Amino acid sequence: MSDVLNLVLFSGTADKLHAAATLAAGAAAMERPVNVLVQYWALDAFRKDRIETDLGLSFDATIAGTKRPVGGTKSIAWLDAFRMAKELGEMTIYACTGSMDTLGIDFASLDPIVDAEAGVATFLMAAGDGQIVFI
Amino acid sequence: MATTAELETLTADKIVDARGTACPGPLLEAKKGMTTVPLGSTIEIWSTDPGTKGDISAWSAKVGHDFLGVLPADGYDRVFVIRRK
């Protein structure tokens, strides 16, 4: 299996984005190339006017008795981890063109951390025979 | 790997203080710090994250640096690595 790590991000809450960013940054530090395809609510989270806002927590966090992020949801530094991954390694973030169409999001409205727009075949070509993780 | 006695007498060329950051922070700081020293230099990473010693060991093996070992300090770990590439 190839060394490339491929992440498909579907969820747009801070906790799931942080889990994804942790994997991406770790892989980049380990000198593994990383491809990220952002779809649906993750794509929405990468909009310029949303990316720095409080993106909340996933459904799991609503269950009674669940621990909360110690510093509050806004303290979850998922974007910093993605930026570090880009700075330290080889990571490409693709916006899923299908989701862009579905949600009415154009490429210009996305944060510049997103490198390109891509269809699924482009992403799968980049992914090669590396693992694909869906978050 | 070095012995505890060897690590105790070792003076690193650079200290990366990543205390207070959680995984993957210390690993990323180590990688960043490594690029600032010449080949053959020793860096020492300070971390309060219990996963760091394992991470730095795995990263060194993957990338080709020499992992020397860990010294426990007061509430944190001192992790030693020689830059090899």
Q: What is the ipTM of this complex?
A: 0.78
Q: Is residue B85 part of a domain?
A: no
B24–A31: do the CB atoms touch at under 8 Å? no
Q: Is residue B74 part of a domain?
A: no
Q: Is residue B40 part of a domain?
A: yes
Q: Is residue B52 part of a domain?
A: yes
Residue B24 exposure: Cα atoms within 13 Å on the Cβ side = 29
Q: Is residue B44 part of a domain?
A: yes
Mean pLDDT of A95-99: 95
* Strand, coil or helix: B46: strand
Domain hosting residue B29, numbered range: 8-64
Whether the predicted pLDDT of B33 surpasses 90? yes
Q: Which amino acid is at A8?
A: V
How high is the mean pLDDT of chain B? 95
Structure tokens at A46: 């990468």
Structural domains of chain B, count: 1
Per residue in B39-68, pLDDT tens?
999 999 999 998 999 999 999 999 999 999
Q: Is B59 on the interface with A (CB under 8 A)?
A: yes
* Strand, coil or helix: B29: helix
* CATH number of the domain to which B16 belongs: 3.30.110.40
Per residue in A52-94, pLDDT tens?
999 999 999 999 999 989 888 888 899 999 999 999 999 999 9
Residue from A71, A63, A15 nearest A42 by CA: A15
B27 interaction partners in chain A (CB closer than 8 Å) = 25-26, 29
- The rounded distance, in Å, linking the Cα atoms of B3 and A110 is 51
